[in-house]
Amino acid sequence: MTALDTPTDEVTLTIDGVEVTAPKGALIIRVAEKLGIEIPRFCDHPLLAPVGACRQCLVDVEGQRKPITSCTTPIADGMVVRTHLTSEVARKAQQGIMEFLLINHPLDCPVCDKGGECPLQNQAMSTGAAESRFQDVKRTYPKPINLSTQVLLDRERCVQCARCTRFSEEIAGDPFIELMDRTSDEQVNVYREEMFGGEPGPAGSHSDLGSEPLRSYFSGNTIQICPVGALTSAQYRFRSRPFDLVSTPSVCEHCAAGCAQRTDHRRGKVMRRLAGDDPAVNEEWDCDKGRFGFRYVTAFDRITEPMVRDPQTGALRAAAWSEALAVAAEGLRRARDSSGGVGVLTGGRLTVEDAYAYSKFARIALRTNDVDFRARPLSTEEADFLAAAVAGRQGPTYAEVEQASAVVLAGLEPEEECPILFLRMRKAYRKRALAVHALAPFRTTGYEKLGATVLPCAPGSEATLLAGDASLAAALSQPGAVLVVGERLGGAPGGLSAAVALAERTGARLAWVPRRAGERGALEAGCLPHLLPGGRPVTEPRARAELAGAWGLEAGVLDSRPGRDTGAILAAATAGDLGALVVAGVDPADLSDARAAEQALDAVPFLVSLELRNSAVARRADVVLPVAPTVEKAGSFLTWEGRLRPFEAVLATGAMTDARILDALASQLGVQLNTRDVPAVRAELAALPATDSPRHPPPQVAPAPPPVPADGQAVLATWHQLVDLGTLQDGDDELAGTARPSVVRLGKELATRLGVGDGDPVTVGTGTGALTLPVEVVDMVDAVVWLPTNSPGATVRRSLGAAAGALVSVSVSVSVPVSASVFVSVSPGGSR
């Protein structure tokens, strides 16, 4: 418990005759809740600032000449409050407000998505009169309007509580929706030029979207907190009734934030996902990717049965599990026992249990340390950093970041790469003016919403700043400061070394925030070439002995030589020096050179793919083994904090976890893996002894001189946008429609040299290929050019084969680029 949570001052009051003591400043409505007195409310939300607009929560307070709103009134010593339970005045006031609210409400509960879980419906039952006296004409609107491709608004259902607009402004910082017009015509809307005599919508976009649609990564929360059925998602609208749904607690599989969720399903199909209420992690919020991005599981190319490559035809054909496992085992055995050996690439999306199974499988069934979870640009320095400074460490936590004296961000754009961490930082910024410093090439809207001080920094030169900038050191020297580094800092030579040294020097806490949900878990499970489970260095005899003891192995089975990382494994495959490759959730397009990765997959003699969908890996594999998606299995993720987020299967299907398949594969190889079911893996993980072995030493890589762009060149800056072409977002056009437009950003100086302005096509190229996008001129470090990593028209890895910090050519394009901002057309009204 933090100091702020400790009640310092308490007052005693009476509510409905019950004496209660509560912290000073608490609102009547909250204190009443604690007594079990539920005062009806609409505009009130515990995480939003009080507004007192709906007037539904009126209570009678002694000494006040009129009833007051309990959602805005702080308690006072000796206060005597009477709610609707004991006061006729309060009861009548609440009933009157309810009657007012219902006169302009369509009462279309039988066709409304909210019916059955609707606060208006429920409170009309508890508080309203049975019959309405209203017999006149209701206000009506054409149904519905798009606030974005995803969020739809039925204005006649709205009770103008302003929860959605307040959320967008206060919490998300995306005030694209606002109450407009007045009196009974007051309505929530987006900015529409036609309201002010202009033309509807920008050219090329759907006019229904308005001139400035709700472009927010958190828009789904407005739907969840809407107390009526006014806001619905195009994804869920008219799909099911709440009372037909089965709700299962779950954990989001998208990023390292580890949000608690509630997955609602019906007849074996997920209908929607909602943010769970977890004050320690995501509070009550969720990002749109986490909320809406679940249809990839039911994509057309889902693999449901094992496949082996037919030696005659050379094509994949369906096979029985027994055959597929036998073929896979035989191929792996041959490779293992040959000189090349087997490499294992696990990707960053596995559960802790599955990652552990791969780690163990590689070590004792394949007898190799050639295992790496990093399916992205990486470095040896990063591996050393992870082993030394992250593995086995707890925290800092969300709460510690919220309470931090200062936060320094390096290699991380939290709104794009860890949205819930972004929300927590924004909360701290709004409530207590948290000082945020960010090393970045330009001030993104995310940094803007955090009020961050941006230290202009070309990709690759982070290390120099971390090592030498006095303002950073000063900020981090305050007690409670946190240095947050993203996985991208690993791409800056010396960056992570400098970060460790800076944290050491200033006493600041150090957090590493990867982008994917499974990275932290894979690190702890030992999916690294030089690290065994529990952060044990493979080179340490004591570490190997501890593990050999736990796994019941004879001495010498665990190889003491560090293995090869993802890059080296793929290079070996290309060179013909690798016997076989086991690949889990890896998309070659995520690796720094996508084409080179695919060439490696083509070159390796034997490829086993444990896959969900018919991916670029599965298509090349000799054996494809279908695995269960997150929703169909139990498991755990580790958040970036190192917090364990266990979950059970939402849907009971026959799909098997990676761990179970590896267990079967291992037994074909004559090895007992004991990862058959999740409880067994969890028990084994829990039983692993604490390690006594020395930690891996921290990296000490000197900053490399930043690349110097020649004329016509620039340094590439790039990161993923939250909503992009990621395979886990496949199948949701409405979500894709809320993505930020793909643009190439560059500074004023470079723009002047090129002679381009906003919207002009600019081509960014390398020896591999080129991308042409409309330009957006920003306040950017000179000679740096930014592209989204994996967005429509901006597939950097595949098209450029380059990572951040690389030199790219920049030129004015003669051809007009295909507009990337509107790449999805969605029918209005969400008729699907």
Partner 1 sequence: MTPSEGALARLTPVLTKRWLSPDAWRREVYEQLDGYTALRKALAAHPDDLIALVKDSGLRGRGGAGFPTGLKWGFIPQADGKPHYLVVNADEGEPGTCKDLPLMMVDPHSLIEGAIITSYAIRANLAFIYVRGEAVHAARRLQHAVAEARAAGYLGTDILGSGFELEVVIHCGAGAYICGEETALLDSLEGFRGQPRLRPPFPATHGLYACPTVVNNVETIATVPYIVLGGAQWFRGMGTEKSPGPKIYSVSGRVNDPGQYECGLGVTLRELIELAGGMQDGHELSFWTPGGSSTPMLTAEHLDVPLDFEAMAAAGTMLGTTAVQVFSDQDCPVYAAYRWIEFYHHESCGKCTPCREGNFWMKQVLRRILSGEGTHADLDTLLDSCENLLGRSFCAFGDGAASPVQSSIKYFRQTYLDYVEGRRPPLFGSPPPRPAWAATELAGAAR
| Rounded CA separation 329/268 (Å) | 33
The answer to whether the CB of 82 falls within 8 A of the CB of 59 is yes
Q: How many Å apart are CA 311 and CA 258, to the nearest integer? A: 43
Is 58 or 270 the residue whose CB approaches partner 1 more closely? 58
C-alpha dist (Å) from residue 19 to 11, 37, 421, 576, 620 = 10, 13, 39, 79, 71
Residue 752: CB partners within 8 Å, gap ≥ 6? none
Give least dist CB 138 to partner 1, A: 8
Size of residue set near partner 1 by CB under 8 A: 37
> In the window 301-320, what residues touch partner 1 (CB under 8 A)?
none
Q: State yes or no: residue 52 binds partner 1 (CB under 8 A).
A: yes
Q: DSSP H helical segments within 108-241, as ranges?
A: 119-127, 163-166, 220-225
Q: Which of 16, 44, 56, 372 binds partner 1 (CB under 8 A)?
A: 56
Nearest alpha-carbon partner for 823 in 784, 770, 774, 787? 774
Among 1, 3, 111, 133, binds partner 1 (CB under 8 A): 133
Contact residue for partner 1 among 88, 185, 648, 749 (CB under 8 A): 185
* Nearer residue to partner 1 within complex by CB, 38 or 99: 99
Quick check: 40 binds partner 1 (CB under 8 A)? Answer: no
- CB 717, CB 459: distance < 8 Å: yes
Binds partner 1 by CB under 8 A, chosen from 186, 193, 330, 469: 186
CB atoms under 10 Å from CB of 480, counted, come to 15
Measured from the CB of residue 54, what is the shortest distance to partner 1 in angstroms? 5
212 versus 733: smaller Cβ distance to partner 1 = 212
Backbone angles phi and psi of 397, in degrees to 5 = -100, 175
Sole binder of partner 1 in the list 51, 107, 195, 326 (CB under 8 A)? 51
Which residues, other chains included, contact 417 with Cβ-Cβ below 8 Å and sequence gap of 6+? 255, 486, 488, 513, 515, 719, 720, 722
Binding string, residues 65-94; x marks residues near partner 1 by CB under 8 A: xxx----x-------------------xx-
Residue 400 makes contact with partner 1 by CB under 8 A: no
Please report whether residue 59 would count as binding partner 1 according to CB under 8 A.
no
Q: Which amino acid belongs to residue 758? A: D
How near is the Cβ of 101 to partner 1 at its closest, in Å? Answer: 6
Q: What distance lies between CA 238 and its chain's CA centroid? A: 27
Residue type, 631: V
Measured from the CB atom, is 135 or 313 closer to partner 1? 135
Contact 20, 12 (CB under 8 A): yes
The residue within the footprint of partner 1, chosen from 33, 117, 169, 178 (CB under 8 A), is 178
Residue 267 in the binding site for partner 1 (CB under 8 A): no
Give the residue among 732, 725, 735, 728 at the shortest CA–CA distance from 288: 735
449: nearest Cα among 459, 457, 438, 439: 438
Q: Which is nearer to partner 1, 135 or 815 (CB)?
A: 135
Instruction: Name 20's bridge partners.
Output: 13
Q: Does residue 392 belong to the site contacting partner 1 (CB under 8 A)?
A: no
When asked if residue 131 is in the footprint of partner 1 (CB under 8 A), the reply is no
Between residues 38 and 178, which has the closer beta carbon with respect to partner 1? Answer: 178
In the complex, least distance from residue 25 CB atom to partner 1, rounded to whole angstroms: 12
- Residue 92 in tokens: 């009548």
Task: Give the 3-state secondary structure of residue 728.
Answer: helix
Q: Stretches 116-124, 178-186, 791-799, 804-812: which one binds partner 1 (CB under 8 A)?
A: 178-186
Within 10 angstroms of residue 241's Cβ, the number of other Cβ atoms is 16
Q: How far is the CB of 49 from partner 1 (least distance, A)?
A: 9
Q: Does 159 help bind partner 1 (rule: CB under 8 A)?
A: yes
Rounded-to-integer distance, Cα 409 and Cα 422, Å: 11
Quick one: which of 47, 48, 107, 179 contacts partner 1 (CB under 8 A)?
179
Q: Which is nearer to partner 1, 192 or 516 (CB)?
A: 192
Stretch that binds partner 1, among 45-53, 318-326, 479-487, 521-529 (CB under 8 A): 45-53
Q: Running DSSP on this structure, what letter comes out for residue 156?
A: G
The C-alpha R_g of the chain, in whole angstroms, comes to 28
Kindly identify the residues of this chain, within the stretch 89-118, that bind partner 1 according to CB under 8 A: 92-93, 96-97, 99-101, 103-104
Which of 429/447 has CB closer to partner 1? Answer: 429
User: Would you count residue 197 as binding partner 1 (CB under 8 A)?
Assistant: no
| Longest CA–CA separation in the chain, Å | 92
Residues of this chain that interact with partner 1 (CB under 8 A) are 50-56, 58, 65-67, 72, 92-93, 96-97, 99-101, 103-104, 133-134, 136-137, 139-140, 159-160, 178-179, 181-186
